[in-house]
Amino acid sequence: MTHKVLVIEDNAQNMYLIHFLLESQGYTVIEAENGVIGIQKAKEEKPEIILLDIQLPEMDGYEIARIIRSTPGIDTIPIIAVTSYAMAGDKERILAAGATDYIEKPINPATFVDQIKVHFKTRE
């Protein structure tokens, strides 16, 4: 079974790296460059996990997480914040907004996929 992951990320280099790492492990990657597109793709595609940047155009990751958590049909999808926000309180703030977990950028390519695997409903 191929797992489907939605990546909401506006930085092309970060998107490329995340996409490459996931696809090389057999995951199907759905890309969205902002929250409006990301929320729409979450509704349409029903991914198993959402990887969410916090610094995004139009609306930030906090607002996106809150919208996803209040939208029936996608409200239980695990959201993993993947962000360079690493100041005191940032992790707690995104978790309070609805994220399931938090991964700091720059990501570690050697451990990144393992960090998200634990959030799939069906264990690999």
The Cα–Cα gap between 116 and 56 comes to 21
Token look-up 């399931």 returns 100
**8 Å CB contact between 51 and 9:** yes
Mean pLDDT of the chain: 93
- Are the C-beta atoms of residues 77 and 48 closer than 8 Å to each other? yes
Domain boundaries, the chain: 4-117
Q: CB under 8 Å to 12, separation ≥6 — which residues?
A: none
pLDDT tens profile 28-80: 999 999 999 999 999 999 999 999 999 998 899 999 999 999 999 999 999 99
CATH of domain 4-117: 3.40.50.2300
pLDDT attached to residue 122: 53
